[in-house]
Chain A
Amino acid sequence: MTRKTIPLLAALALFLILPQLIAVKYYLHLSILALIWVIMAQGQNLIQGYTGYVSIVQAGFMGIGAYSTALMGSHFGLPSSVTIILAPLVTACFALLAGYPSLRVKGHYFAIVTLAFNMVIFIILLNFTDLTNGEAGISGIAKPGYGRGALIDFNDRQVYYYFVLAVAVLMTALAAVIVRSRIGQILIAIRQNEDLVASVGVAAWKYKLFAFVVSAMFAGLAGALYAHYQSFINPEIFGVAQSLDAILAVIIGGSGTLTGPVIGAFFVVFLPEYLRFADSFRLILYGLILVLATIFMPRGIVGVARDLAGRIRGQ
C-alpha cells in the first residue's frame, strides 16, 4: 500500500459510513447533490484542469443529459436504468457537434463560444415547449429500480446516496485512468504548450475534442442522476450560473488534480447552505469567499493542503 492510497481508502471509508454519521436527513440530501456535482466537476476538470480550456457549457450538457433521460423514459417507455446509461451518449453526440467548430478557437474565445452554446441550450429547453414543457418543466421522473417496497428502493435517500456514490467513484476512477494514460499526458502537454504539441506531429484538436466530449458525457450523466433524484427538471437549473459553479468547483478544489473536484463539489453545494444564516447577504458573502479563495488559493484547497503537508514533512 503506497502513501497515496491510504488517504484514498480513508476517504472512501468516510463516504461509505457517512449516512450513518449524519443525524439529519437533510445533510444526506445535500451529500447526494454534492456527489452528483463530483461527477460534473470531474468532467469539467478534464477539459479545464488538464487541457486548459475553460468550458462554460457544462450545465447545458447536464441539461441535455437530464432531459434526454426523462424524455426517453416518458416517450419510449425505456427503464430508468437504460436511460441513465444512454443519456451521456446522447450528450456526447451534442458535444461532438458543438466541440468540432468551437475548439478551433482558443482561450477566451473558446470560453465565449461555449457560453453561447449554454445559452442556446437554455433557450431551446425553455422554448421548445412541445418537447420540454418549457418553464413548467417535467415532473414525476421515475426513480431507477422497481419502485417503493422493492428489494433496492431508490426512493430511499440512503440507497440513492450509495448508488450515486458508486457512480461518482467509478467516474473518478475513469478520470484517473484517462489522465494517467498517454491521452492524459497529451492533454496536460496541450495545457502547457499547445503549439509545441502540434510541432511534434500530434493532432492536438483530436485530443481536445476527446476531452470536451468526455467532459460532456460526465455532465450528461450527472444531469441524468439529478433528474431521477429530484424527479423534476426545468430549464432554470441548467443555466450559465450553474456552469460557472462547475468552473468554481474545479478552481476552489484544485484544478488539474483528481481530489480537487471532489472537495470543490462539496464546497459549492454546502457553502451556500451554511451561509443561509446571513439571509439576503449570503450571496454577497458567498461571492466574497470565492473571490478571496481564488486570489489567495490559486491552486485550490488541494494546493494549500499539499503545501502544508510539504512544510510539515520539511520540518
Chain B
Amino acid sequence: MTGKIFLKGSVAGLAALMMSGAAMAADEVLTIGVADALTGGAAVYGLPQANAVQMAADEINQAGGIKVGDDTYSLDVVVYDDKANPTEATNAVRKLIDRDGVKYILGFCCSGATGAVASFIEYEDAVMLVGNAAERSITTREIGNLVRTRPPADYTGAAAGAFVAQQGHKRVAVLGALEISFYASYVEAFEREFTKGGGEVIAHEVFASKDRDMSPQLTKIREMEPDALLVVGYVEPAAFAYRQSVELGMDIPRYGFTSGSEEQFLRVASSEQMEGVWDLRPTELTLQSTGETGLAYHKNYSERFGIAPSPSSPYAYDQAWALKHAIEAAGTADDTEAVAAALRDLEIPSEAVMQYLPVNGKMFDENGQAYTANGAFQWQDGHWVYVQELPSDPEAYSAFLSTLD
C-alpha cells in the first residue's frame, strides 16, 4: 500500500467512523412530556417550569444526551397546558401516555391538578416527576413511580414556627388564605412548632385570594395586641396585608410565606411599608443564597426567555437532570420501573439548582420526596436579603411522612 492510498484509506475510514459516530449520537430520541399550567392564574408557576424543562433538555442534548449502554438518547419535549385544572391535567397526561407514547412526565406546578394525575399514575407504564405542587398528600401514597422535588408546605411551616419561637415571640396572629390547603398545612405545622417553643397562635383570620382589603381582619388582630403577625398567601393579597398593617399603625414584627419577588410586592406596597418583613420559605432560587449553578441557571434562563426565572422554576429544571441520571443509572430508557427505582436511589445531581438536603445520602426519600433548605429572608432597603437558614430536619420529616396514609 502506497502512502497516498494509505492516506486516502485513512481519511475515508475516519470519515466513515465520524459519520457512524454522528449517526449513533443522534439515532435515538426520547420524548418526555410536560403537563403544567401554561395559561390561567397558575401560569406564573407553570410556564416557567415548562421553560425550565425545555432549557434542561437542550443542555442535556448539547452535553451529549443520555447514554444508555451503546445508545445515546437526545431529548424531545412535548408540552401540554393543564391550566392547573384536574380534568385538564388528566386529559393532558392521558394524551401524553396513550397517544404520544411518553413514559416520563414532568412539570406539575399546582396541587389540584397534580393530585388528579397522581390518583392513576401508579397503574401506568410511566414515571411522574412533580415540581412546585406543595400539597402533602401527593407523596404520602407510596406511589412507586412518582417523585417530587418541592418539599411539602408543612415541612417549611414547621421550620418557620421554630424560627419565630426562637425570636422570643409568645403571641402570634395569623392572617392568610387558609382555605387553600397547602397554606393551611403550613400554618398547622407552624403552630405546632411555635407552641412547642412556648408560643401561642391567638388568631386565625382568613382572606380569599381575590380579597384586597384586609383592614377588617387587621383591625380585629390589632385589638388583640399580638407580639407578631404571620401572613400566608399569594403575593398580591399578602402585599395588601403588609401595606394595610402599616396604615393601621401596627408596629409589630411581620412574618410571611409568599415566595414573592421584589417587583411583585412593589406593585402594591412601598418599600417603606415592606421594611423589616420576613419571608420564611424554601430557599428556592434566590440570588443571595444560591451557588454557581443557580447563578448560571438565572443567567441562561434570563438570556433565553428574556425574563428572570421564577424562584420555583428550578424544581422542574432539576427534574430533567434527575431523570437523565436515573435513566443512565438504570441502564434503560424503556423500563420505567427500573428508572423509578433508580430515582429513589439517586444522589443529588451536580447540576441541581435548588439546595437539596439529602435523606440517607439520597435526593429522594422512600416516599419519593426531596427536601430543600428553608430560609429566612428579610426586606431591607427595597430588597429581599437572605439572613439565615431555618432549622429544618428532613430526616425527621421524612420519617413522619412515611407514617401518613
Contacts and interface: CB of A to CB of B under 8 A. Distances in A.
A135 B181 contact: yes
A133 B137 CA distance: 11
B87 A237 contact: yes
A24 B95 CA distance: 9
B79 to A, nearest CB: 9
Interface stretch (A98-106, A215-223, A276-284, A301-309): A276-284
Contacts of B97: 26
A35 B94 CA distance: 17
B90 interface: yes
Contacts of B87: 33, 230, 237
Contacts of A26: 94-95, 97-99
B180 A135 contact: yes
Interface centre among B39, B85, B94, B135 (most CB of A within 10 A): B94
Interface string B77-102: 00011000111001100110111000
A44 interface: no
A230 B80 CA distance: 19
Interface in A109-159: 126-127, 129, 133-137, 139-141, 155
Interface string B95-116: 1011100000000000110011
Given A135-B181, A136-B181, A139-B141, A24 B99 contact: yes
Interface stretch (B24-32, B118-126, B254-262): B118-126
B323 interface: no
B98 A139 contact: no
B274 interface: no
B81 A137 contact: no
B85 A236 contact: yes
B179 to A, nearest CB: 5
B81 A129 contact: no
B99 A232 contact: no
A155 B119 CA distance: 12
A25 B141 contact: no
A36 to B, nearest CB: 11
B184 interface: yes
Interface in B149-184: 179-182, 184
Contacts of B277: none
Contacts of B184: 129, 134
B120 A231 contact: yes
A182 B228 CA distance: 68
B354 interface: no
B86 A234 contact: yes
Interface residues of A, number: 30
Contact of A30 (B80, B91, B179, B180): B91
Given A232-B119, A276-B81, A24 B179 contact: no
Contacts of B111: 135-136
Contacts of A279: 38, 81
A127 B116 contact: no
A232 B116 contact: yes
A140 B119 contact: yes
A29 B94 contact: yes
A133 B138 CA distance: 13
A273 interface: yes
A174 B81 CA distance: 38
Interface in A261-298: 273, 276, 279-280, 283
Nearest to A232: B119
Interface string A227-259: 000111110110000000000000000000000
A140 B141 contact: yes
A137 to B, nearest CB: 6
Interface in A4-37: 24-26, 29-30, 33
Contacts of B137: 136, 139
A236 B87 CA distance: 9
A127 B177 CA distance: 11
B86 A237 contact: yes
A115 to B, nearest CB: 17
A91 to B, nearest CB: 20
Nearest to A242: B87
Contacts of A155: 123
Contact of B98 (A24, A129, A233): A24
Given A133-B181, A155-B123, A279-B81, A139 B118 contact: yes
Contacts of B123: 155
Contacts of A134: 179-181, 184
B90 A230 contact: yes
Contacts of A30: 91
B91 A273 contact: yes
A141 B119 CA distance: 8
Given A26-B98, A139-B119, A232-B116, A283 B39 contact: yes
B181 A232 contact: no
Most buried by A among B118, B135, B181, B184: B181
Contacts of A141: 119
A238 B192 CA distance: 33
Interface of A: 24-26, 29-30, 33, 126-127, 129, 133-137, 139-141, 155, 230-234, 236-237, 273, 276, 279-280, 283
18 contacts: A24-B98, A26-B95, A26-B97, A26-B99, A29-B90, A135-B180, A136-B137, A139-B115, A139-B141, A140-B141, A230-B86, A230-B87, A231-B120, A232-B116, A232-B119, A234-B86, A280-B38, A280-B39
Given A137-B86, A139-B137, 5 more contacts: A129-B184, A139-B115, A232-B116, A234-B86, A280-B39
Minimum-distance CB pairs A-B, first 9: A26-B98, A232-B119, A136-B181, A25-B98, A231-B119, A26-B99, A232-B116, A139-B119, A29-B94
